[in-house]
Amino acid sequence: MLAGWDRTRDLPNVAAMTENRWRALVARRPLITFFVLANAVSWLGWAPYILSADGLGVLPYRLPELLGDTQLLGLMPGAYLGPLTAAFVVTAATEGREGLRQWRSRLVRFRVGWRWYAFTLLVFPAVLIAATLALPGGLGAFQLPGIEFLPMIVAYLVMQCLTSGLAEEPGWRDFALHRMQQRLHPLVATVVLGVLWAIWHFPLFLTAWGGGAQASVLVQFTLITIGLSIVISWIYNRAGNSLPMVILFHAAFNTVAGPGQRAFYPALDHQWSWSPVIGVWALAVVLLVATRGRLGYDATAVPRATAVPAHA
């Protein structure tokens, strides 16, 4: 009965049916697909780092330094592969080549008002630095760094733009936040995204990067990601969905919370200090009050016409 069946003839049809089912599944659940892919791919990419002697110590090796950083080679594969891959795959499946073209074009949307650069590079860092004054011993430990601080901090900022900012924000904000705000209240979407953003980082707390998966540290880190998400949502919504602006803000936070704090307060212990939480949430509360929780979102002014399915 099956003697005349040509398997090679039907293979393309099977492949096409499988592809169509995949596209239909992604189209019904684009956000869920994105978050599952982002976490799965990133956590797989971080596995060599987590299992190394700089992590759980299951395998007896250490990753080599890259650009003088002992953690960069462990962090970047998972960071780049996860959100970017997930955003690319889901965009390609739901919006095709035109969606990918528009996605790439937003990566170079540098033309925003000068006030956004001033806020990101001057106001926001000043608030973070000033927040440390609220900590015990902060006032006495404050000192102005020397002029040699400037080229170092600029180089670190550029590196953070090309690593953390570029690896994460095209996925978290440009893909996920845009769609979540069309389905949820902007504040609800932002808080949910902030929590999911924190969870994405959690495996790294098993490595030297996180310094141990202590409950108090995980809570503190989650507070930071939620507060940052509130500020970033406001920038993203008000600055015309500019990805470079969001990437620069992400990089500015990492720069100031790291070498910036150590330069202005060299005598303090900055390992998971509460000053970034204080500084970020001071701005977040101001923005929540000023925008009445809308964070600058205007559904009638969204510059992209992509329809979002009714399901996540």
- Closest residue by Cα to residue 124 from 111, 135, 115, 136: 115
How far apart (Å, rounded) are the C-alpha atoms in residues 35 and 42? 11
Residue % of the chain over a pLDDT of 90: 61
How far apart (Å, rounded) are the C-alpha atoms in residues 139 and 265? 9
What value does the mean pLDDT take over residues 44-53?
94
What value does the mean pLDDT take over residues 124-138?
92
Residue 307 has pLDDT above 60, yes or no: no
Residue 18 has pLDDT above 60, yes or no: no
For 207-233, write each residue's pLDDT tens digit. Answer: 988 877 788 889 999 999 999 999 999
pLDDT band at residue 1, thresholds of 50, 70 and 90?
A: very low
Residue 138's identity, in one-letter code, is G
Q: What is the mean pLDDT of the chain?
A: 87
pLDDT band at residue 68, thresholds of 50, 70 and 90?
A: low
Residue 306 has pLDDT above 60, yes or no: no
**Domain ranges (residues) in the chain:** 11-301
Entry pTM:
0.88
Residue 4 has pLDDT above 60, yes or no: no
- Concatenated DSSP letters for the chain? --TT--HHHHHHHHHHHHHHHHHHHHHHSHHHHHHHHHHHHHHHHHHHHHHSTTTT-SSS--PPPBTTBTTHHHHHHHHHHHHHHHHHHHHHHHHHHHHHHHHHHHTT-----HHHHHIIIIIHHHHHHHHGGGSTTHHHH-----TTHHHHHHHHHHHHIIIIIHHHHIIIIIIIIHHHHHHS-HHHHHHHHHHHHHHHHGGGGGSTTTT---HHHHHHHHHHHHHHHHHHHHHHHHTTT-HHHHHHHHHHHHHIIIIIHHHH-TTS--TT-SHHHHHHHHHHHHHHHHHTT-TT--GGG-S--PPPPS--
For the chain, state the CA radius of gyration: 22
Query: Quick one: 6 exposed, middle or buried, by C-beta within 10 A (0-12, 13-18, 19+)?
Result: exposed
What value does the mean pLDDT take over residues 158-173?
94
